[in-house]
């Protein structure tokens, strides 16, 4: 017996909305970290600060790269949703236009 994977465009859109909300929270946290780093730069100097800044920069770069890849995937998902909705619309229109005739037994 084979398994059937069933997903609809509403569930796909819900995933996009969830990701967008989580992304906004992450960007807010990154803004706080960037601001804190700028404040630290005013009073903290030396090798340990440079190491910390380098690690933060690497982390931010990785997060931005990951975010871009996820955004690319989201754009592809939106295209898929559009294609699915168009196909479902065509199928519904075709089904509605079928001439089912009348039953001779009615």
Percent of the chain past pLDDT 70, that is, above it, reads 97
- pTM here? 0.67
C-alpha 106: how far from its chain's center?
A: 53
Instruction: Count how many Cα atoms sit within 13 Å of the Cα of residue 99 in the half-sphere of its side chain.
Output: 1
**12 burial type by CB count under 10 A (0-12 exposed, 13-18 middle, 19+ buried):** middle
| Mean pLDDT computed over 43-65 | 86
Q: What are phi and psi of 63, to 5 degrees?
A: -65, -40
pLDDT for residue 8 = 87
pLDDT band at residue 34 using 50, 70 and 90 as cut-offs: confident
Q: In whole numbers, what is the pLDDT of the chain averaged over residues?
A: 86
């Amino acid at each position: 017996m084979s398994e059937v994977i069933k997903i609809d465009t509403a569930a796909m859109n819900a995933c996009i909305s969830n990701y967008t909300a989580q992304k906004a929270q992450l960007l807010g946290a990154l803004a706080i970290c960037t601001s804190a780093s700028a404040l630290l730069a005013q009073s903290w100097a030396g090798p340990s600060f440079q190491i910390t800044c380098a690690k933060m920069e690497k982390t931010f770069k990785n997060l931005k790269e990951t975010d871009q890849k996820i955004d690319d995937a989201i754009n592809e998902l939106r295209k898929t949703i559009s294609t699915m909705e168009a196909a479902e619309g065509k199928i519904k229109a075709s089904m509605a236009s079928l001439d089912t005739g009348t039953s001779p037994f009615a």
